[in-house]
Structure 1
Amino acid sequence: MTNIQIRTYRDEDGDIVRELFTLGMSEHVPSFFMHILKQPPTQMLLMCVFCSLMASSKSFLLPVLAVTLLLAGARQLVVHMFNSYIETSLKKDLNNIGDVYLKEKDSCFWVAEIDGRVVGTVACLPAETSPGCLELKRMSVRRSYRGMGIAKDLCRTVADFTRDRGYPAVVLYTSVVQTDAQKLYEHMGYEKIREFVIPELVAKIVNVTLLEYKLDLQRDGRKN
């Protein structure tokens, strides 16, 4: 049986933590690109471009090329969005984990370690939009170590920390394309309480939908 150790973050973990976060976020580019392609406005735009060029040019090659270029542009937009989010997250807290998460009693940052190698992360701090709750953040597990119960252990660590400090619930946010994460949280007792589109213009255009989950500790929502 694999020995998984969950411990508090140390300064020497910084580079590997940032690497795990960056790799984990980048994994979602393909699924989010497919999410955009499934949106009716996207399909309508591609169809209109194809049909109008087909009718005006009497050529099949030109509309195919135009649609291909639009798809390539859309994928680059998704890559740009994720890179911008990664950069913002690094500046906001992941470049300064000690100050953001470890100086207050109601916040913390943990890493999961196997054979001396950091393979997962999670954090929590008081939720900005849900007073009286802690928010689970920065959950990430290296791809080659998934399916070993690491994410469940990290979720339990946050729940225990939250309960020990007298908070009634944990909240978290994930995106609509992160289906594996949604299954994990629901298995651990979290309930989806709302869906909403990020208010930024580009996010509205491509329908960037976030899901808010809540774990009610007063009902002992933990699951093994």
Structure 2
Amino acid sequence: MKLRLARNKDASQIISLIKKCYLDYPNCYLDVKNDSPELMTVFSYFKEKNGKFWVYETNNKVIGCMGYLPLSQKYIEIHKLYIDKKYRNKGLAKKLILKVESIAAKKNFKYISLWTDTRFKEAHEMYRKLNYKKSKKTRKLYDISNTSEFNFKKKLIKYS
């Protein structure tokens, strides 16, 4: 299993991975054109916004992904964390999150934030175990899946 920066040509595999993850949740759909067009040029999109996006791959197949974008001088935000069901509970998501936390702390960000679908209860539990706190903020996306999201955030410890 290899972790590497995503390339634009990974788009179809990343989209397939996310669609596959959504199958576990009723009425959860991915509308790339209207809701997530950045997935078509994932590397370029994140690079242009001073972020990064990684994929885990095994046998040339994408089995996990996640990116981050800076929101302000204090906040960095995690985006699109998905791990294929067959590879969950092996620490892959945790490694990605810890990687971003380390980068964020070294770049002097004070907080890391993320939005997660209210239906993704397993993910919520993982965030709690990593000391993320569910904030009072929620948002409704008005997308094809009628998504509502919770916000989680964590105060970072500065590394020397």
TM tier, shorter chain? 0.7 to 0.9
CA separation in 2, counterparts of 1:5 and 1:160? 19
Are the equivalent residues in 2 in contact too, given 1:175–1:209 (CA < 8 A)? yes
CA separation in 2, counterparts of 1:172 and 1:83? 18
Q: Provide the secondary structure at the position in 1 that maps to 2:134.
A: strand
TM-superposition CA deviations, 1:15-64 (whole Å, max 9, x none): 211111222233222xxxxxxxxxxxxxxxxxxxxxxxxxxxxxxxxxxx
Structure with the higher fraction of residues in strand conformation: 2
Structure 1 residue 162 corresponds to structure 2 residue 133: no
Please tell me the root mean square deviation across aligned C-alpha atoms, in Å. Answer: 2.7
Structure 1 residue 14 corresponds to structure 2 residue 18: no
Structure 1 residue 211 corresponds to structure 2 residue 157: no
State the structure with more CA Rg: 1
TM value normalised by structure 2: 0.83
Q: Tell me the CA shift for residue 219 of structure 1.
A: 7.5
In structure 1, runs of 5+ residues without a counterpart are 30-77
| Structure 2 CA distance for partners of 1:88 and 1:161, relative to 1, 3 Å | farther
Q: Tell me the CA shift for residue 142 of structure 1.
A: 0.7
Q: Report the equivalent of 1:177.
A: 119
Q: Provide the secondary structure at the position in 2 that maps to 1:95.
A: helix
Q: Tell me the CA shift for residue 169 of structure 1.
A: 1.3
CA separation in 1, counterparts of 2:141 and 2:81? 24
CA separation in 2, counterparts of 1:88 and 1:135? 21
TM-superposition CA deviations, 1:122-152 (whole Å, max 9, x none): 001023xx66211100000011111111111
Q: Report the equivalent of 2:34.
A: 88
Q: Tell me the CA shift for residue 114 of structure 1.
A: 3.3
Identity within the alignment, %: 19
Q: State the one-letter code of the partner of 1:10.
A: R
Aligned mate of 2:47, from 86, 102, 113: 102
| Structure 2 CA distance for partners of 1:169 and 1:180, relative to 1, 3 Å | same
Structure 1 residue 132 corresponds to structure 2 residue 71: no
Aligned residues: 159
Q: State the one-letter code of the partner of 1:23.
A: K
Q: State the one-letter code of the partner of 1:5.
A: K
| Structure 2 CA distance for partners of 1:22 and 1:217, relative to 1, 3 Å | same
In structure 2, runs of 5+ residues without a counterpart are none
Q: Report the equivalent of 1:153.
A: 95
CA separation in 1, counterparts of 2:136 and 2:73? 16
Q: Report the equivalent of 1:186.
A: 128
Q: Provide the secondary structure at the position in 1 that maps to 2:36.
A: helix
Are the equivalent residues in 1 in contact too, given 2:65–2:80 (CA < 8 A)? yes
Structure with the higher fraction of residues in helix conformation: 1
| Structure 2 CA distance for partners of 1:89 and 1:23, relative to 1, 3 Å | farther
Q: Report the equivalent of 1:120.
A: 64
Structure 1 residue 5 corresponds to structure 2 residue 2: yes
Q: Report the equivalent of 2:20.
A: 23
